[in-house]
Every structure is written in structure tokens, then in C-alpha cells.
Chain A
Amino acid sequence: MNRLAFRRNVWHLLLIPLCLVWIYPFVWMVSAAFKTPREMLIGGLSLLPDDATLENFRRAWTTAKFSTYTANTITYSIAVVVLVLLVASTAGYALARPGLPGKKVLVGLLIATMFIPHGYTIIPTFLLVNGLGLGNGLLGAALAQAGPALVVPVLLFMGFFSGIPKELEEAARMDGAGYLRTYWKVMLPLAKPVMGTVALMNFIGAWNAFFIPLVFTLGNPDLRTLGVGMYGFYGQDTTDWTGLAAAACISVIPIVVVFLFLQRTFVEGIAGAVKS
């Protein structure tokens, strides 16, 4: 047993140095948020600021308009995540049904579009959303963000659902559960790891999104998100690096919270489910 414990702890000898190196640039970014521009750009490499200042955070708060944009960003990101989860999980479930006519074509099309760049102009999307009358709100932006992001989640859900043992579903059906019920009560709860992953990735994507929230709020700048606000630090030739670093630190916090929260979905395998 001792040998086993030793063998297990040996891994830390590998992981700790790896993580220290890994996180160094990130820590540097955090420390830059407390430095003066002079120290960040031409000072040494020290991680500890000589003369720590909170001025960057004050500037970040006003320049990136955190106070007005945070609520928009939360709304937008949650809308995107909910849209993607619902649409992708239903589609993935349907596509995992055996023998569904037309499935091959659809899956082939999905995969093929992964590789063909989605147009280099936003104009078709813009026309569509405008035509739906959603051109100046976050819902239009959320649709435009969620739409192209669907392919991978659909494939992930499909892969996951088709890997679930058939016995499970049949048992549910024996109990008299219909299609909808089986999906909602049996299958979806099992798919937590995939849901967690999809939610996390799309949350990050939406949280940092820049182009779509910009284009779909042109007439209504009060609806913009932080991803757009961050560009307040870039002038034409110069950049307010310490302000940007501070803003980056603030805006990373919600993502870390979401990460820690969703991380639980990665620890529960489907073991228990199979037994019951």
C-alpha cells in the first residue's frame, strides 16, 4: 500500500514543475495589472511590482465600461449557452438514433462545414438577423453566435449518446417513458460531462466574443459586451497594456468561477447509472 501511495505521489514531482512553468505567463499578466506602464514595459522581469498600483483597475473599469457592459455580457453568454445546449443536445440525441434515414447526409454536411471557412463577411448573417427584426439586440447577436458554434456540440452529443449502453434506454422504455421523457429524464442527466464541456466552451466564446456583439449592436452601443469594451485600450498605434492586463484579470474571474463550477461534471462517470 505504501508503495502504491508513493507511486501515486511521484506524479506531483512531474506535475508541480510543469504547472509552475505553465502558469508563469499568466501570472505575469496578473502582475502586470498592478504595475505602472513604465515598469511593465521597460522594467525588469520581476513578478512582484516594485510599486503596486490599483490605478490600472480604475482605468480598466471605466475604459472597458465594466459597469454598463457586465450585465449585457452575462445575459448574452447565458443566452448563447442555453441555446447551444438545447439545440445541440436534442439534435445530437436524434442523430444518435440508429437507422435514422438521412442521418449520414446530415452528419457528413456538418463535418464538411467544419472545414470550409464560414465566409469572410458577416453580411449574409447580418441580412438574415436584420430580416428577422433582431438586428439591434442581444438575442440576434446570441443567435448569430450560437448558430455557427453548433456543429461540434452536436457531434459531441451524438458521439456521447451513441456510446451509452442500449440496455439503459430500453429499461426506460419498459417503464413506459416516451421519447421526450427518455431524452429529458434519462439521457440528458447522463450527458453531464458533455454538457459541462459544451457550456464551458461556449460560455468562454460568448464572454470574449467581439465581432458579433459589435456588429449587432451598432445602433445601440449600450448593449455591447465586454469583448467589445476591451478594444477601448487599443489606439491606432499604441495600446494601454497595463489597463488591458487589469481588464483581462477582471474579465477572467467569471470564467474561472464557471470553470470551477462546471468542473464537477467531469468527475461523475456513468458508472452509477449503468448499475441502476
Chain B
Amino acid sequence: MTTTVERPRAKVPAAQRTPRRPGRFRKHLWSYLFLVPMVLLFGGFTVWPLMASWWYSFFDWDGVGTPSNWVGFANFAEVLRADAFWRAFWHSLVFSLAAIFVELPLALVLAILLNNSWLRFRNLYRLVLFLPVVATTAVIGIVIAILLDPAGGLVNRILLDTGLVDQPVNFLGSTSTALPTLLSIDVWKGFGITLIYWLAALQTVPKELQEAAEIDGAGFWRALRFVTLPVVMPIAIVILLLVFQRSLNTFDLVRAVTEGGPDYATDVVPTYIYRFAFDPSLQAPRYGFASAAGVVFGLLTLVVTLLQAPFLRRRLDGGRR
């Protein structure tokens, strides 16, 4: 895990070969100085709230004052026993699978295409693909509801007119189609972000290399495999992590489009936690339980990530060779 983004060891001596005047210590001193602001902010705004929420997860606490009603592992036991939690976890996982195996590669292909200086209007294309990212989610929710309405919505009208279906499809209302529909909307909404990250990553590919590949007619796939991917690999792994994490935390869109329904067919962990811990109709928020559910969710995804780590490492090393 910790080594996924590390530089190959072979390079280390190269850097050490230049022990200049101030020596190694001075060099590292600077590096540590450079890390200070990040460590302070990271410690204060990420690690500390995180530790606090671990602490809260052992209490029955409503979020006001100091937690005092220690319940041990009761919150965790409740989370682990809840079928609804596991159902939500599975849906969250499906969201991340869709993001990793559909959104990520598609965005890379389009980024490569839109990175070509010979493509006219490429700035316009980029803007268009990016716009859904900044469209207000709540408004998108209602637009989608109107477009996908089984009773007279545009999409169903087109499907019926072209004879692709003979019965209107109840996209959001049927337990079998709601999740795939929501996944597609999620890919649509988040695609621009991934695209932009890929575009940034592609800027690290030296132009000479790209041009060389093009001139010797290496072919798209060969160029991708032997020129582009190896160079962008360190950033690609960050993008992968990012997409994975973002897809696990899908919340606004689910709330705006289906609120987890129908019959919880689109319930994800963030909406599950919200419903059980913060719903304004609850008498008091259950921060302790929410924190426990968050911790369990975090640990589970960490395990999933660790399972990917050896694979990532191999890709990284392969890329570097």
C-alpha cells in the first residue's frame, strides 16, 4: 500500500551521487520544512477529526456536548448486523466498479483524442464534456426525472417511436433498472472531472515521444501502451484512487434523483448513514452510530484498496521499465 506511488529504488543512487556542499542533511531539512504546512493542515483537518470520529463511534451520542454514554462496540455490532448496510455497501461498490471500469478508461480515450492539437474545436468539446460537472445536482435531478419519465418523458418517447421498446421503460421506478440508470447518470456527471485529470496527466508525455510514435506509424494502441501509459503511470494511479474514492462517496446525486429508492434499490452507504443518523425527522442525530458506520465503511474500502495494491505496484514497475 505505502509503496504504490514510490519511486523505483534503482534511481535512488543516482540522486545520491551528487552530495553537494550542504550535504544530505541540509537537503532533507528543506524537504521536511516543505512538508510542515501540509502536515499541520492534514493533521488538524483530516487526522484529528478522523480520530475524533473513531472515538465518537464508541458512544451513543447526539452531537452536543461531550459524549458520555459509552456503549463499547454496540454501534459496530449494529452496523455489521444490518442487512441494509450491506446492501448499501454493495451498491457503493457497484458505483466504484462502474467508475473504474467504464468512466476511467472512456475518459482516458477521450482525453487522448482531445489532447491532439490537430483536432479542431477541441477546447469547445472539452468544455461541453465538462459542463455536467458544474451543473447544480438538484436541478439535474428534476431534469432527469422529467426526461426519463415513463409517462411521456423524452427518452421513452424516442424509444417508443423508434420501436426499440413496446412498453415505456420505468427507468428510475423499477428496482431492476434504477441502479443502472443512476450509474449512467453518475458517469455522465463525473466524467468531466476524470477527463480533466487525464488531460493534465497527458501533459507529462514529452511531445517528441508522441510525435515519434505517430510518425513511425506505431498505431494507436502501441503508442498508448509503450509511450503514453508508462509515462503517465504515477499520476494515473492517483487518478484511479481519486475516481475510486469519489464513486464510493456518491451522495448528492442519489439524494436528488431517487433518494435511495425504489425499495432501496439505489441506496448507497452515504445515504444509508444520512438516513439513520441525520434525517431531520429523527428526534436526535445518532452521531455515534454514523461514525461507527463510517469507520466500518472506511475499513472495508481500505481492504478493497489493499487488494488492488499488488496489482498497482506491478503496473507501476512495469511502466517504469
Residues of B within 8 A of A6 (CB): none
Smallest distance from the beta carbon of B277 to chain A beta carbons, Å?
6
A79-116 near B? 1/0 per residue, CB < 8 Å: 00001001110110111111111011111111111111
Q: How big is the B interface, by class?
A: 35 or more
A20-38 near B? 1/0 per residue, CB < 8 Å: 0011011011001000000
- The stretch of B77-85, B162-170, B196-204 that contacts the partner chain: B196-204
Residues of B within 8 A of A112 (CB): 1, 302
Asked if residues A193 and B199 are in contact (CB atoms below 8 Å), the reply is yes
Smallest distance from the beta carbon of B134 to chain A beta carbons, Å?
5
Report the Cα distance A45→B147, complex, angstroms.
8
Asked if residues B131 and A23 are in contact (CB atoms below 8 Å), the reply is yes
Q: How big is the A interface, by class?
A: 35 or more
Residues of B within 8 A of A192 (CB): 203
Asked if residues A119 and B206 are in contact (CB atoms below 8 Å), the reply is no
Given contacts A99-B16, A119-B49, A155-B5, contact A150 B130 (CB under 8 A): no
The answer, among A98, A101, A255, for a CB contact under 8 Å with B134, is A255
Report the Cα distance A101→B147, complex, angstroms.
56
Asked if residues B46 and A87 are in contact (CB atoms below 8 Å), the reply is no
Residues of A within 8 A of B153 (CB): 45
Most buried by A among B3, B48, B232, B238: B238
Residues of B contacting A: mostly: helix
Asked if residues B47 and A113 are in contact (CB atoms below 8 Å), the reply is yes
Q: Is B282 an interface residue when CB atoms closer than 8 A count as contact?
A: no
Smallest distance from the beta carbon of A131 to chain B beta carbons, Å?
10
Q: Is B31 an interface residue when CB atoms closer than 8 A count as contact?
A: yes
- The stretch of B175-183, B258-266, B293-301 that contacts the partner chain: B293-301
Asked if residues A143 and B291 are in contact (CB atoms below 8 Å), the reply is no
Residues of A within 8 A of B144 (CB): 25
The answer, among B14, B203, B298, for a CB contact under 8 Å with A117, is B298
Residues of A within 8 A of B115 (CB): 266
Q: Is B50 an interface residue when CB atoms closer than 8 A count as contact?
A: yes
Report the Cα distance A97→B35, complex, angstroms.
12
Asked if residues B235 and A248 are in contact (CB atoms below 8 Å), the reply is no
Residues of A within 8 A of B134 (CB): 204, 208, 252, 255-256
Asked if residues A271 and B142 are in contact (CB atoms below 8 Å), the reply is no
Residues of B within 8 A of A268 (CB): 203
Report the Cα distance A234→B256, complex, angstroms.
13
Q: Is B73 an interface residue when CB atoms closer than 8 A count as contact?
A: no
Asked if residues A115 and B15 are in contact (CB atoms below 8 Å), the reply is no
Residues of B within 8 A of A241 (CB): 139, 142
Given contacts A93-B34, A159-B235, A270-B204, contact A87 B53 (CB under 8 A): no
Given contacts A99-B15, A144-B45, contact A29 B140 (CB under 8 A): yes
Smallest distance from the beta carbon of B218 to chain A beta carbons, Å?
15
Asked if residues B52 and A151 are in contact (CB atoms below 8 Å), the reply is no
Q: Is B290 an interface residue when CB atoms closer than 8 A count as contact?
A: yes
Given contacts A197-B196, A239-B138, A270-B203, contact A263 B126 (CB under 8 A): yes
Residues of A within 8 A of B234 (CB): 158-160, 162-163
Q: Is A206 an interface residue when CB atoms closer than 8 A count as contact?
A: no
Given contacts A116-B295, A152-B242, A204-B133, contact A143 B45 (CB under 8 A): yes
B47-91 near A? 1/0 per residue, CB < 8 Å: 111101100100000010000000000000000000000000000
Which A residues have a C-beta under 8 Å from some C-beta of B?
8, 11-12, 15, 19, 22-23, 25-26, 28-29, 32, 45, 83, 86-88, 90-91, 93-101, 103-121, 123-125, 128, 143-144, 146-148, 150-152, 154-156, 158-160, 162-164, 166, 170, 173, 179-180, 183, 192-194, 196-197, 200-201, 204, 208, 230, 234, 239, 241, 244-245, 248, 252, 255-256, 259-260, 263, 265-271, 274
| Supplied contacts A94-B34, A150-B41, A155-B238, 19 more A-B pairs, CB within 8 Å | A12-B120, A25-B135, A29-B140, A98-B12, A105-B2, A111-B4, A118-B50, A121-B290, A121-B291, A160-B204, A179-B27, A193-B200, A193-B203, A241-B139, A245-B136, A260-B127, A266-B115, A266-B202, A271-B206
- Which 9 pairs between the two chains have the least Cβ-Cβ distance? A147-B45, A108-B2, A116-B298, A119-B53, A271-B207, A91-B38, A193-B203, A94-B34, A159-B234
